[in-house]
Amino acid sequence: MYKKCQQPTLHLHPDADDVLPKEPAGEVIIIETRDEVGPHNSMQQSSFITGVRRHLSQCYYWHCERWLRVVCWCEPHGSGTRNTNSSLLLNFARSRRLRIAGSWYQRPELHRWTWYSNAGGVAKEIDHILVSTRWRILQNCRVYRSAEFFGTDHRLVVATLKLHVKSRRISRGNHSVFHLEKLKDLTCAHEYAVAVSNRFDVLGALGDPVELWDTFKRETLQAAMECIGERPRSRRSFVSTETQEKIEESRAARLAGNRDQHRALSRRTRTLLRRDKERYVRSLAEDVEGHLNANDLRPAYRALKKLRSKSPSRASAIRTADGRLVSDMDGQMARWAEYFGQLFTVDPPTEQLHTTGLQAVDADPPPIDETAPSLDEVREAVAKLKGGKAAGVCNISAELLRDGGEAMIRGLHAVLTAVWQSGTIPPDWKRGLVVPIWKGKGDRQDCNNYRGITLLSVPGKVLAHLLLTRIRSHLVKHQRPQQSGFTPGKSTTDRILALRILVERRREFRQGMLAAYVDLKKAFDSVHRKSLWDLLRLRGIPARTIGLITGLYSGTESAVKCGAGVSSFFPVNTGVREGCVLAPSLLNACMDWVLDKVVDQSDCGASVDNTKITDLVFADDAVIFAESLEVLVMALEALHEEAKPLGLEVSWLKTKVQVFGDLLDEAVQSVHACGEDIEILESFTYLGSAVHNDGGSRQEVLRWIGIAHGVMDSLSGSIWRCRYLCRRTKIRIFKSLVIPVLLYGCETWTLNSDLKRRINAFAIPEAHPDHTYPCSSHKTTNSGEPVDVGTQMSQPVSHAETKTHKTFFHASAAKKNKMLREAFKEKVLPGDKSVRKYTGFLSKNILNGIFKIIQKKVVKINYWKGPKQFNNKSKQSSRGKSKRSSVFDEFLITVIYIREAMEMEVLADLFGVSQSHVSCVITTWINILYDIFKRWLKYPTAENVRKNLPENYPSKYSDTRVILDCTEFFTVKPKNALHKLQHILIISTTILSNFW
């Protein structure tokens, strides 16, 4: 509302109270006056004009903080002396709690006078802006002489206002977030353990599991509240206290008009800000690097999100099923509950699981223990809990259990024993909180673009850990060898490597095959629980153990937690519980049952040297192989039928088929199975690795190079171009966050010289012209590894080769992983190309021929034993292996070591011998081979050097004489037997071929 009035001189507006009523709560009032009644000016002679503007309606500004600050209505920067009209204005402002804006800022007269006479000899301050003192929105006020309008003798008065909209704080209800960081202090942890010990005396008199659990939860939370307290609001700023003090001093110097001190403090403040940010990012990079070395990737990705230039904001509203936007908290909670309730609700299967006539698997000795858990078992289960995880419904985190001392372990043991013996599960252990997480793509307001993460009760997880410990070894022993999901000693790399080796071997023998990548709809959420319990009985799991697992999964409920709000609980009657440690093993049992039926009903699989590989599975991600289209269709139809009794359903839209070889015509674009058309692709991303139908790794390498470039771009503005960070910090961030992305899955790559060049080119500055990441040329160390001169960082290809050797060591050391080990043996020496790569000889025939000649000279070998201390150390790391290798294997071990510089530990496990034996073999055979091949050790002559010079060199520099005996030539000559053999095997392979 704006109202303009004019009255005679020295009179206030008679309807001032009507124009400006008492200030309503939650409204901002701004008054524009033009009068002779300046705050301290007796020269002003015009009328008093009052206008009222009420900004922001009460319904919008209701959430602002309601506090009243008592201030001076007129600051000491007014002009003139007080008269009657000025007193009236001051009294009016005081009664309405208004602030005269112009009197709060010290300005020169040119920026104060608002009216000039026509002759220009008189200038006065007669225009004012009054602002409500309740909201501190006034930032600046001054006169602008350049903004002069026609037909007026007044100057423009401008006030800068800034609204501070206070966010609405939502109560957390009964869920307090404890300050768990305080438990790192030994004193605080000891106080908490003592408080728990004093409170848990009442647990011994209780026997009912539910009552025992309620008492345990109540006393634990009260002890945590007393000793730890709630977590304070986190400050995201990295600015230190010292820097904040300097900022305040600089601001005070500026307001006081001390320009020299203000400039000095500003320079000091900028220096401290650069130091604080560099400390923050350096500590972040060090933490990330340490966790990556420990194979803990969660902090690495968390740091990557923090260091990105643009962090995505959370959607303030979501859409209902009919497309309407919902912004209020209650409406959003209802919408989330509706969405996840429908997502977790799956109709029961129409067909039953046929288990009649099947006998359960006999448990191997010792049988599965069904007695109540011991105190040591509970202690070990609590130690397995991961810290840094959010608590469930009970609000008890893993840190509260671990740091509670022996009294906490005994109290939890009492609860678990009562639950185990009675079979009654506390209701809190059956409830979960679903947190929606955006998938990173799609509309943020669409619920379909979110995935739910379920938070379960941590003490309930302890019970699940105890049950899993009892049955895991039995389930793994009877698990299909093709399954590697959540299995000790197996990973996604094993499945990817096995798939690539299978494709390469089939391609080498010019044999085609088909691969179907099967996708199941909501596999974890749709498993029929009754059928799952029947499968566990067939696996030989005892009845009491199945009863406890059934109790954990009976009557389960979930609620959606979004921010601090929690929706109402809805039932979840199907699927395995997300976040439960039992879920992967339970799902693996279902997948094994289904795929066993598929293999029995179809002749699926691809053969390699009398070994038939039917499928590869990681949890619910399965790929089925076939040598003909008819067999593949038969396998998919069998999978569709056998998955129904377990509640599983094939997603034909996401299921894809890949053809390796010339089994199908190019015109065929899809495969028809179960009344659905399945798309045929040339490349498919399996477990994060792109597999192309040509069997090569080029597409995969280029794909990860592009992804690594995206990571570089996301860190461009915040890291690479940041002048606060030193070069060393940028290198650490590059090694911690970019290199792991670049080399993901490199253990399975087949690299040629072009791909190696492309990977190494990623780390040179020319590849990133818009970034300031420092690199320089590479040099070769004594160990033969290329290292950057400026950064002392190895080339990315060197990291890839090291990871490949570690993968082969893992494959050879895992005795139970027969499939991958056999595939690796087939990859080592199957043909001339691999022989040339691993040994340096041109073909397998040359390798065998040279060995026949050498074999006559090594009939009796005196092995070098080495010092006693070395042998003892080797025996400790030999893992109990005392097998002697054959003479050919010893020759092969030495040649591979010379050629590839493979670790002795890898060679020992690859050939099934001890590491000390490998060391003795290499030390002995190096001297033998050098004695045989030393006559073929030749260096280039001056004539060879002259012939290999550039074509235009002799004509242009005819007077230049090539000197062989110069320092440069002497330094490149190998000095010991190992380096000389490397020179022979790498440089002189043609001579060795002629020698044979």
Check if the beta carbon of residue 162 is closer than 8 Å to that of residue 213.
Answer: no
Q: Can you list the residues of the chain whose pLDDT is less than 50?
A: 1-15, 23, 35-73, 766, 774, 776-785, 789-790, 815-816, 821, 824-825, 864-882, 964-972, 987-996
Task: Indicate if the alpha-carbon torsion angle 481, 486, 488, 489 is positive or negative.
Answer: positive
Partners of 98 in the beta sheet? Answer: 132
């009197």: which residue's tokens? 103
Q: How far apart are CA 653 and CA 655, in angstroms?
A: 6
Query: In the prediction, which pLDDT does 430 show?
Result: 94
Query: In the prediction, which pLDDT does 779 show?
Result: 46
Check if the beta carbon of residue 481 is closer than 8 Å to that of residue 819.
Answer: yes
CB neighbour list of residue 618: distance below 8 Å, 6 or more residues apart: 483, 484, 485, 492, 495, 687
Three-class SS state of 87: helix
Query: In the prediction, which pLDDT does 26 show?
Result: 53
Query: Hey, what are 280's tokens?
Result: 């923050």
How many CB atoms within 10 Å of residue 440? 8
Query: Hey, what are 193's tokens?
Result: 């353990």
Q: How far apart are CA 92 and CA 104, in angstroms?
A: 18
- CA nearest to 542, candidates 362, 356, 421, 352: 362
CB neighbour list of residue 986: distance below 8 Å, 6 or more residues apart: 840, 899
Q: Strand locations in 318-475, DSSP E? A: 318-319, 325-326, 431-438, 450-456
Q: How far is CA 577 from CA 432, 452, 713, in A?
A: 9, 12, 38
Does pTM top 0.75 for this prediction?
no
Residues 727-746 as b or e (16 or more Cβ within 10 Å = b): eebbbbbbbbbbbbbbbbbb
Check if the beta carbon of residue 673 is closer than 8 Å to that of residue 710.
Answer: no
| DSSP notation for 370-415 | -SPPPHHHHHHHHHHSPSSPPP-TT---HHHHHTTHHHHHHHHHHH
Q: Please state the length of the chain.
A: 996
Phi-psi region of 619 (alpha: psi -120 to 50; beta: other; left: phi over 0): left
Q: What is the 3-state secondary structure (H, E, C) of 36-60?
A: CCCCCCCCCCCCCCCCEEEECCCCC
Burial class (CB in 10 A: 0-12, 13-18, 19+), 723: exposed
Cis peptide before 8 (omega within 30 of 0): no
Query: Hey, what are 276's tokens?
Result: 């604080």
- CA nearest to 407, candidates 220, 193, 183: 193
Query: Hey, what are 925's tokens?
Result: 């055979």
Task: Indicate if the alpha-carbon torsion angle 947, 953, 959, 965 is positive or negative.
Answer: negative
- CA nearest to 820, candidates 478, 479, 484: 484
Q: How far apart are CA 523 and CA 630, in angstroms?
A: 27
- Give the domain ranges of the chain: 16-161, 241-307, 697-812, 829-996
Q: How far apart are CA 748 and CA 820, in angstroms?
A: 12
Q: How far apart are CA 552 and CA 798, in angstroms?
A: 49
Q: How far apart are CA 678 and CA 671, in angstroms?
A: 5
Q: How far apart are CA 51 and CA 611, in angstroms?
A: 92
